[in-house]
Chains A and B, each alone.
Chain A
Amino acid sequence: MAILTVNQLSKKYGKITALQQVSFSVPQGSVFGILGPNGSGKTTLLGIVMEVLKSSGGTFQLFDEVPTEKTRQRIGTLLETPNFYHYLSAVQNLKITAGIKKRGADDIDRVLQIVNLTQRQHSPFSSYSLGMKQRLAIAAALLGNPDVLVLDEPTNGLDPVGIAEIRELIKKLAKEGKTIIMASHMLDEVEKVCTHVAILKFGKLITYGDVNEILINDDIVEVVSSDLERLKNTLINMPNNTHVQITNETVHVHFAAGTANLEAINKFCFENGIVLSHLQLKKKSLETKFLELTN
């Protein structure tokens, strides 16, 4: 079963196209990252799925059905910003959430504990810091222990400890078999927690699929010796490499993912009369890949 399927989804704001015929599907049990720079259409996409924005074209399904408000009650969603009644406390706000979702009224203590808001549960929302507001929004999404979570920039406004906690939480929930759809502009966040990724840019879907196939598809070996030019020219002749270049006083040798063999490189160089002073395997940097994909 697909948890979410979007089909040719488009959205126009006047002349601006925020979303351009985007199609993908989110498999059950995946942690699905929607990755893209600011303004790439991530929130617009999720807003349409959550019925707060009207699409200009295309369709979407949740749980393989045309969704209704009942479908949304089964999903824990944090979209864009934490939206709460500013004069009410955390507990009072979550009671409203539970009332609308028709579940989770007995779950409020647990979710507040998870996000460390128990101490401030009776303070009004307006007195919260940005990070606390964000944590309350995550608590609201967790309310009633839903099988599917939609989290738009979940670590927004959190301190480093908070960010680490939320990542651990997402991993833990994924282990429990929950499906998590997460929008983010932070690559390392997606790399660390997601199993699948869709990359958006200017409202267009650039690619999507397994995170290991899309984000990490090259092994790079850094090699240094006294004569870089000679080293480079030698390594070009080594079998199986895809590309050799000199960057920052280092020779970079590219291999297809999982095929780089450091011993073989060392041996190959030594046999060709070169002694290496540095030899290190690097996965292709995510930043590089992301810039490559989105530029």
Chain B
Amino acid sequence: MINLLKIEWLKVKNYRAFIVIGIFFIVGIFVTNYIVNLFFEKVINESEASKLINRFNPYTFKYVWQTISYTSGFILLLPALLIIILLTNEFTFKTHRQNIIDGWSRMEFMHVKMLLALLFAIFSTVLVFIAGLIFGLSTKTDIEFVGIAHLGFFFLKALSYNMFAILVAIWIKKTGFAIGVYFIYMGAENIIAQLLDVWSLKIKAKGSFDPGSMGNYLPMNASDGLLTFPDNPIKALTQNSFPSNYPNLVFGIAIAYLILFYLLSRKKMISSDL
């Protein structure tokens, strides 16, 4: 496995898009969170309305893990984009054929890309952890790890984004088309998810059955559903929470989708002409 990764490293280390997107991603995480932080400090907390309730800074411990996991989630599109480019490039330049001709199995070719997806997800999570520490410590409070489970949700989301990118790239093969489909799907699923959420509320209001937020059962929203922006503590008190096993359900669904992405990618990779 290390040997496979070494070869993958030889492929990407001199690839300009890899370096550029990598830098954008790292800078993006810090800049985005800094802007949100600034917005809270300068706009929301300075507003008249905020004087009525307790001041609330989402970038202090313990909220910081949840805030930063949620806010950084949007930037995960960048590593997913990179994965699509790396994989469809292989198809465009037929280097995937050459890799297999030279002595990789079709599964080795796919698995090393998935390994890369996993590493990107781990790297993203570590980066967000570091960013969380920096933002948290900048408010000069003691480190707290309450709510750090949100980093786990963030990792799950990163992995889902990356694995879905692999699935799309393997089935569509053309770089531009695959990127288009990926982003259009992301947008479309969000719209459908919101409609499903409204429907869920209607079902709940009608009778005894509580379907939860059905939008969260969709592939990309499942891993996303556990990430939310922390509510102002007072506002949070007024909201009735989901049943305690609801996160487990959504978590389980997200894992099930990951397995599905793997199986669908495998099916295409094993059976088709390359």
Contacts and interface: CB of A to CB of B under 8 A. Distances in A.
Interface of A: 47, 50-54, 68-70, 72-73, 77, 79, 81, 83-88, 92, 95-97, 99-102, 140
Contact of A81 (B14, B94, B108, B273): B94
7 contacts: A54-B272, A68-B105, A84-B98, A85-B11, A95-B10, A99-B7, A100-B103
Contact of B100 (A50, A96, A102): A50
Contacts, number: 78
B139 interface: no
Interface string B242-274: 000000000000000000000000000001111
B6 interface: yes
Given A69-B108, A86-B93, 10 more contacts: A54-B272, A73-B102, A73-B103, A79-B101, A88-B10, A92-B10, A99-B3, A100-B99, A140-B98, A140-B102
Interface centre among B15, B100, B102, B272 (most CB of A within 10 A): B102
A66 to B, nearest CB: 14
Nearest to A143: B102
A72 B103 contact: yes
What are the 8 tightest A-B residue pairs by CB atom distance, in nearest-first order?
A73-B103, A83-B98, A83-B94, A99-B7, A69-B105, A100-B102, A52-B274, A72-B103
Contacts of B102: 72-73, 77, 97, 100-101, 140
Please classify how large the interface on chain B is, using the bins under 10, 10 to 19, 20 to 34, 35 or more: 20 to 34
A92 B7 CA distance: 10
A157 B185 CA distance: 43
In terms of DSSP, what is the predominant structure of the interface of chain B? Answer: helix
B93 A69 contact: no
B42 interface: no
Interface in B18-47: none
Contacts of A50: 100-101
Nearest to B92: A86
Nearest to B10: A96
B95 interface: yes
A111 to B, nearest CB: 14
A122 to B, nearest CB: 12
Contacts of A72: 100-103
B100 A87 contact: no
B62 interface: no
Contact of B93 (A52, A54, A85, A95): A85
A73 B105 CA distance: 10
B111 interface: no
Nearest to A124: B14
A193 B106 CA distance: 34
B235 interface: no
B183 interface: no
Contacts of A92: 10, 14
Contacts of A87: 14-16
Nearest to A73: B103
A96 B4 CA distance: 10
Contacts of A96: 7, 10-11
Contacts of B103: 69-70, 72-73, 100-102
Contacts of A81: 94
Interface string B89-120: 00001110111111111101000000000000
Nearest to B18: A87
Nearest to B270: A54
Contacts of A140: 98, 102
Given A51-B106, A52-B274, A68-B105, A88 B100 contact: no
Contacts of B94: 81, 83
Contacts of A99: 3, 6-7, 10
A37 B267 CA distance: 34
